[in-house]
Structure 1
Amino acid sequence: MLTYGCQMNEHDSEKISGMLTSIGYEETDDENNADLVIFNTCLIRENAELKFFGKLGEVKGLKRKKPDMLIAVCGCMMQKEEIRQKVLKTFSFVDIIFGTNTIHELPSLIYNAEINKKRSVDIIDNTELIYEDMPKQRKFKYKALVNITYGCDNFCTYCVVPYVRGREKSREPIDIINEVKALAEDGYKEVTLLGQNVNSYGNNLKNGITFAELLYELNKIDGIERIRFMTSHPKDLTDDLIRVIKECDKVCNHVHLPVQSGSSDVLRRMNRKYTKEHYLELVNKLKKEVPDVAITTDIIVGFPGETEEDFQETIDVIKKVKYDSAFTFLYSIREGTTAALMENQIPDEVKHERFDRLLDVLYPIVLDKNQQCIGKVYPVLVESVSKTSETFLTGRTEHFRLVHFKGSEDLIGEIVNVKITNVKTFHMEGEIE
């Protein structure tokens, strides 16, 4: 299985793996001998789309050598009619297509493709149904992804999510609480709550529970030591939520708060429903109530109509907030969105030039934030052996900073105290205390 895109897609892949394992499949890294190859696609950025089509073309040769191999494509791209038709017409070797709302139908789709030798397609544009208790084969044994909402009601003008994942719907709190309790019983130490906008959790529930109230309940669960959440929309960041971060010991002092642009005019055309001034007020409130908070963000460079003055507003926000890290993107046209039809699309060379200037401001700030950690001791959840050295381990602090340090493999999944001795822009180095 090849997964592209966000953590929501990663978690969908865990559900797909869980279903396949339950009906007798075993995961393999050897695609040449696989009986089933699945692409879980992403439509948010053009780069992920291009990677998918390139890899799908490569698989054609595998299918020719092994005709009984099943090729399945799912995820956000398949919710888009034009792209789905392109796959159906251009890639005739694809056997199964399903969408974000029909993951639970995969076993029957496989049966139809294998037994009836028919191409199987199952897409639902939107649904109010949430399927609980689906089997999951989680990627890690010590940290887990947990959906609390599906879909989105925000309709940012650059984003396809509401069109491909449907309108926002929240899971019942008891189902979330029971899932996290079960994870704690299985030895998991960290959960990350997922939603396109976690702050609006509960808006469509009859009992009216808020995201802050849900966090209070999850904080009571024995065994879980860290609670994270992604993604937090500035327009719905409440004083109650800030209070939860301050008061609940398990809720990490880390808020991912996408700004997207520092220009109020650009934010208006993005339909973000907040201004630069409002965003900075939220940041100041967060820092005042939770002085140790780490703030990360998303920034889009080159949105249609972005002027040099607009861009400088974004630079100003970066300097004022002093982000701990940021995901930075060049704006790319997504067909079907309002922004794709806007005039004054920014030339690629201007986007790239601004992008480079933005990083020249951002990276020294991130490095300085890391340098402030030297000499301090942080609890680190050990995640894996380092990719660059077998004698080093890799983990994260509650602030989501990546740390490399010497240690034995049996520490993976444990939380250890690490003293920071050296830092780079993208990671820190330390020693176990």
Structure 2
Amino acid sequence: MTKKINVVTLGCSKNVVDSEVLMHQLDRGGWKIVHNSNDPSARVVVINTCGFIGDAKEESVETILGFVDAKNRGMIDKVYVMGCLSQRYRNELEAEIPEVDGFFGVSDLPLIVAELNVKYNEAELNKRWLSTPRHYAYLKISEGCNWGCSFCAIPLIRGKHVSRPIESLVNEAKELAKQGVKELIVIAQDTTYYGFDLYGERRIAQLLNSLSQIDGIEWIRLHYAYPSGFPDDLIDVLKSNPKICKYIDIPLQHINTQVLKMMRRGISREQTIDFIEKIRKNIPEIAIRTTFLVGHPGETPEAFNELIDFVKDYRFDRVGVFAYSEEEGTYAAQNFTDSIPDEEKKLRVEKLMEVQQRVSFELNQLRVGHTYKVIIDAIEDHYAVCRTEFDSPEVDQEVLVKLNGKNVKPGEFHTVRIVEAQEYDLIGEFV
């Protein structure tokens, strides 16, 4: 019988890439792969964990315990754990959950491959077993982070920023295009810092231009762009290169200068506003996605209300909101008291999202009557589930288009007219 393995991926898109690299190695080594599956014939499970914030850690532990319970009941034979949680808490996890057959950190790919009796093939690290729909894929351009934000444990888990060479990334993107990928989603802990360690300067604009020359790639979108030190030549590329989506994900985290200082973000309120206005002046049609962190030590009610007003005034296309979670070893955990009650943090998250919901609805109303190029992600219940260039998969809104007998397939580009707007979705018709 063919060996079958279930790889379960938790956390962010960077983890998705790590799992896909692992799955390619295992696939070449004779394993039959299933991903995020309940397939009872997969007798071996690898869980790629997240250890970023409290809720993510809790989900990772609960997932491990669930598969350990299945192992104890004889439903599976082996359970392995890899990724961020395993990197950070391996000793504690080994002591608390001894039923796990092995724990592996974020850089232990050769070790887990060997554990599964597969010969590690370094020459094929730019090849992946895609777990996303075939028409889009994530491209991780660097590892780690140099910023040291007060609340973030990523540098403790994944180390300093390490860029991959442009040639290596272009080769990987070509391989993805051969598999049918049409949309590349460029990711890293900070994409705008890309290249500084290799070339002595930021080279994200050059990388995007190089990727845009690959046949078959039609859309390229940029995630996780740090606002401090944002390179001007990147604005030029976003503006002028037709393959680069008019979309950018910039985690601002806050707007109050004192809170930003305590967060160690390296930017003030005035600099943030100047930056946002500069991007919008140069690229008026751009969609900006951002995230905010509420409940950080030192966030007074007045500072939170300042953030509320900022979201009302600057009307971002997409917003995510998270509550502060104290993480061991971070600057905030060592220097501040987590004094804001969890219930108050939750209320601040809800209040900010209520404001954004109204903003999103108003912005969506402005799209009614306009036509857009969309990519089809799926066909569900007589509808095509689509996205414009202003939306990233999984995290942003969709355009639902009734098929009305039209024969279309996932991965195809079409033109639709928006006929109705909701808070977080659009309704369209094929043109």
| C-alpha displacement of 1:30 | 3.1
Rate the CA distance shift 1:218–1:207 in 2: closer, same or farther, 3 A.
farther
- Correspondence for 2:130: 138
Q: Equivalent of 1:414, from 412, 415, 431?
A: 412
- The structural deviation recorded for 1:65 is 3.3
Cα pair 2:60 2:85 within 8 Å, conserved: no
Point out where structure 1 has 5 or more consecutive residues left out of the alignment: 113-129
Equivalent positions of 1:318-337 (< 5 A) are 318-337=311-330
Which AA in structure 2 matches 1:161? I
Moved more, 62-71 or 339-348: 62-71
Residue in 1 that maps onto 2:3: none
- The equivalent position to 2:115 in structure 1, one of 65, 90, 109, is 109
Deviation at 1:187, TM superposition (A): 2.7
Paired residue secondary structure (1:252): strand
Q: How many percent of aligned residue pairs carry the same amino acid?
A: 31
Cα distance per residue 1:108-153 (max 9 Å; x no partner) = 12239xxxxxxxxxxxxxxxxx986354111221111111111111
1:402 aligns with 2:398: yes
Residue 238 (structure 2) aligned to one of 242, 245, 249: 245
Deviation at 1:203, TM superposition (A): 0.5
Query: Partners of 1:146 and 1:48 in 2: how far apart?
Result: 22
Match of 1:221 among 207, 214, 220: 214
Q: Which of 7, 12, 18 is the matching residue for 2:13?
A: 7
Structure 1 distance, partners of 2:409, 2:199, is 44
SS of residue paired to 1:298:
strand
Offset, 1:298: 0.6
- The Cα of 1:220 is off from its aligned counterpart by 2.2
SS of residue matched to 2:117: helix
Tell whether the 8 Å contact from 2:127 to 2:175 is kept in structure 1 after alignment.
Answer: no
Equivalent pairs, count: 411
Report the Cα distance in structure 1 between the residues aligned to 2:42 and 2:338, rounded to whole angstroms: 47
Q: Which residue pairs with 1:125 in the alignment? A: none
Contact 1:262 1:315 in 2 (8 A): no
**Offset from partner CA, 1:23-48 (integer Å, 9 cap, x none):** 12223433533221111111112112
Matched, 1:256 2:264: no
1:295-310 correspondence to structure 2 within 5 Å: 295-310=288-303
**Alignment-derived partner of residue 51 in structure 2:** 43
Change (3 A) 1:61 1:209: closer
Cα deviation, 1:154-185, whole Å, max 9, x if unaligned, reads 11110010111111011111111122223333
Q: Which moved more, 1:399-408 or 1:145-154?
A: 399-408
Q: Distance in 1 between matches of 2:413 and 2:160?
A: 38
Determine the structure 2 residue equivalent to 1:74.
82
Instruction: Determine the C-alpha separation between the residues in 2 that align with 1:344 and 1:32.
Output: 43
Tell me, yes or no, if the aligned pair for 2:190 and 2:225 is still in contact at 8 Å: yes
Question: What is the rounded CA distance, in whole Å, between the counterparts of 1:58 and 1:191 in structure 2?
Answer: 34
- Secondary structure of 1:181's aligned partner: helix
Shift of 1:199: 0.3
Q: CA deviation at 1:106?
A: 1.9
Structure 1 pair 262/207, CA: closer, same or farther in 2 (3 Å)? closer
Deviation at 1:266, TM superposition (A): 0.6
CA distance in 1, matches of 2:414, 2:240: 23
Aligned equivalents of 1:219 and 1:344: distance in 2? 45
Equivalence for 1:120: none
- After the TM superposition, which parts of structure 1 deviate over 4 Å for at least 4 consecutive aligned residues? none
Report what 2:178 is aligned to: 185
Structure 1 contact 304–345 (Cα < 8 Å) conserved: yes
Cα distance between partner residues in 2 of 1:132 and 1:234: 34
Per-residue deviation at 1:317? 1.9
Whether 1:351 and 2:359 are equivalent positions in the alignment is no
Give the structure-2-normalised TM-score. 0.91
Please list the CA deviations of residues 344-389 of structure 1 after superposition, one character each: whole Å capped at 9, or x if unmatched.
5211222122222212221100111111111111111111123xxx
Contact 1:31 1:37 in 2 (8 A): no
Secondary structure of the corresponding residue to residue 376 of structure 2: strand
Q: Counterpart of 1:65 in structure 2: which amino acid?
A: R
Distance 1:47 1:299, change over 3 A: same
The CA distance in 1 between the partners of 2:96 and 2:337, in whole Å, is: 32
User: Contact between 1:19 and 1:134, CA under 8 Å: does it hold in 2?
Assistant: no
* Residue 68 (structure 1) shift: 6.8
Distance (whole Å) between structure 1 residues aligned to residue 151 and residue 124 of structure 2: 31
Q: Which amino acid aligns with 2:204?
A: F
Q: Which amino acid aligns with 1:427?
A: D
Asked whether the 8 Å contact 2:43–2:75 carries over to 1, the reply is: no
1:24 maps to which residue?
Answer: 30
Instruction: Please state how far the C-alpha of 1:330 moved relative to its aligned partner.
Output: 1.0
Kept in 2: contact 1:41–1:77 (CA 8 A)? yes
Query: What is the identity, as a one-letter code, of the residue corresponding to 1:398?
Result: E
Q: Is the 8 A contact 2:375 2:387 kept in 1?
A: yes
What is residue 431 of structure 1 aligned with on the other side?
Answer: 429
Deviation at 1:59, TM superposition (A): 1.9
Match of 1:286 in 2: 279
Q: What is the CA–CA distance in structure 1 between the aligned matches of 2:99 and 2:389, rounded to whole Å? A: 45
Aligned-pair RMSD on alpha carbons? 1.9
